[in-house]
Amino acid sequence: MNKLSSSSNDDPQANAARIADLQATARGQVLLPGDAGYDEARKIWNAMVDRRPAVIVRCAGVADVRRAVDAARENRMTVSLRGGGHNIAGTAVCDGGMMIDLSPMKSVRIDPERARAYVEPGATLADLDHEAQAFGLAVPLGINSTTGVAGLTLGGGFGWLTRRFGLTIDNLVSADVVTADGQLLRASESENPDLFWAIRGGGGNFGVVTMFEFQLHPVGPQVYGGLVVLPLEQGRQALARYRDALQSLPEELTVWAVLRQAPPLPFLPPSAHGKPIVAFAACYTGSLDQGAQAVEAVRALGEPYGEQLGPMPYAAWQKAFDPLLTPGARNYWKSHNLGVLEDGLIDAVVAAVGDVPSPQCEIFFGHIAGAAMRVPVTAMAYPHRAAQFAMNVHGRWDDPQDDERCIAWTRDIFKATEPYSQGGVYVNFLTQDETARVGAAYGENYDRLVQVKTRYDPQNLFRHNQNIRPAGP
């Protein structure tokens, strides 16, 4: 039996006995260093994170989660929670503690009559979309299908449907939560409403969500959209036109802007591959026969290298950017919330993309707005209802020798664009060195989050995250 970490109880025999009991009673796997499958289980999306838990509990159900939480609490172990393992900061995996791996819990059940989805915490966006689209239904989610539903939801969640239907958390009806004392609670507007308020944006600070209940909306199965790719030389003018056009676009149409080097997309001429570009990604979820007219505003933003627009399955569009976001690369992000795209900001990002340190680096503007802005700031933990955009500077590369210059590029752009930001930040975009920005992630809701944390996790068992510390000495 492997000795547990120094973060655990001082009685190694008692520790070993508890882990042996967990191995004997869990329905899922309990992995120790050296076990087959251990190294694979600790891998996550961001290759910059390489940590070694003392034990990995691959939960098969709620009973396993409760036993794991009890064992970690009794052993005084650091706990990390893994859903999809996609978080940029790598909070899914810890050093020397217990990793509670929820990825085997992937069930998605759709109730088409009530327009509800019941989703376990190991499910990805692709899992949920696959089941919901069989009935022409969807939940507002993110834009990379390999992302875990759990982490996306607990931080807020936005994507192609947000302008029309709100954030992911705006569509959360209830959740089952295992709290730090091992209880299983239902959180909703009528049951444990303070916990429900907190988990809608407060991350994994308050417990382990073992089931999400979502409101579904009619979407697809076909939508209209695609890409319009312009030379970077047109970037300043195109982004200014984009800024102006957004004021009159219907909420059924979402358009994001991405600045990077052109990947070898089949609709682009080979001469454009590797050139700096600004691309506009559009998704229209209204009537298909109005799609071509709706995206004319996108086509009018400039003279493109190429474009690919038309009807497509919604589930396919949800996977369109997966090839650019595969696991195993090194990633470092810096992010701002923005109210408007000011001229100075546009100048800064266009200049930065003209000299990227890696062809995988990019800057994107995710347009939120719409329905997400009509929810009161204090309605739930997520506070950024005035943010029109989330801007993310995405440093991405493969060779560890490029760490310094790619991180520096990312930080330089963040600093240059800071004067144009609202000061807030989307918590799911915080990297592991940005704990000082947790207050900015929650704004005026932070003090109430501390109160809820103090009630449900007074010993801060769930602290391997963008942590909200409980009150007390």
Both 144 and 230 in a single domain? no
Co-location of 212 and 351 in the same domain: no
Range 170-199 average pLDDT: 98
Does residue 1 have a pLDDT over 60? no
Average pLDDT over residues 222-245: 98
Q: What per-residue confidence (pLDDT) applies to 3?
A: 35
Say yes or no: 121 and 77 in one domain: no
pLDDT reading at 174 higher than 90? yes
Per-residue H/E/C for the chain: CCCCCCCCCCCHHHHHHHHHHHHHHCCCEEECCCCCCHHHHCCCCCCCCCCCCCEEEECCCHHHHHHHHHHHHHHCCCEEEECCCCCCCCCCCCCCCEEEECCCCCCEEEECCCCEEEECCCCEHHHHHHHHHCCCEECCCCCCCCCEHHHHHHHCCCCCCHHHHCCCHHHEEEEEEECCCCCEEEEECCCCHHHHHHHCCCHHHCCEEEEEEEECEECCCEEEEEEEEEEHHHHHHHHHHHHHHHHHCCCCEEEEEEEEECCCCCCCCHHHCCCEEEEEEEEECCCHHHHHHHCHHHHCCCCCCEEEEEEEEHHHHCCCCHHHCCCCCEEEEEEEEECCCCHHHHHHHHHHHCCCCCCCCEEEEEECCHHHHHCCHHHCCCCCCCCCEEEEEEEEECCHHHHHHHHHHHHHHHHHHHHHCCCCCCHHHCCCCCHHHHHHHHHHHHHHHHHHHHHHCCCCCCCCCCCCCCCCC
Provide the pLDDT confidence category of residue 14 given band limits of 50, 70 and 90: low
Q: Is residue 452 part of a domain?
A: no
- Residue 17 — very low, low, confident or very high, per pLDDT cuts 50/70/90? confident
pLDDT score, position 6: 40
Stretch 105-130: mean pLDDT, rounded?
98
Same domain, 78 and 128: no
Domain boundary pick from 186, 219, 252: 219
Domain stops at, among 47, 67, 101: 101
Q: What is the pLDDT of residue 284?
A: 98
Same domain, 237 and 208: no
Is the pLDDT score of 414 beyond 50?
yes
pLDDT reported for residue 19: 84
Range of the domain at 32: 12-101
Number of domains in the chain: 3
pLDDT at 252 > cutoff 80 = yes
What's residue 232's pLDDT?
97
pLDDT tier at 472 (50, 70, 90 boundaries)?
Answer: confident
Looking up residue 67, the CATH number of its domain turns out to be 3.30.43.10
What's the pLDDT score for residue 196? 98
Could you tell me the pLDDT band of residue 2, with boundaries at 50, 70 and 90? very low
Same domain? 181 vs 291: no
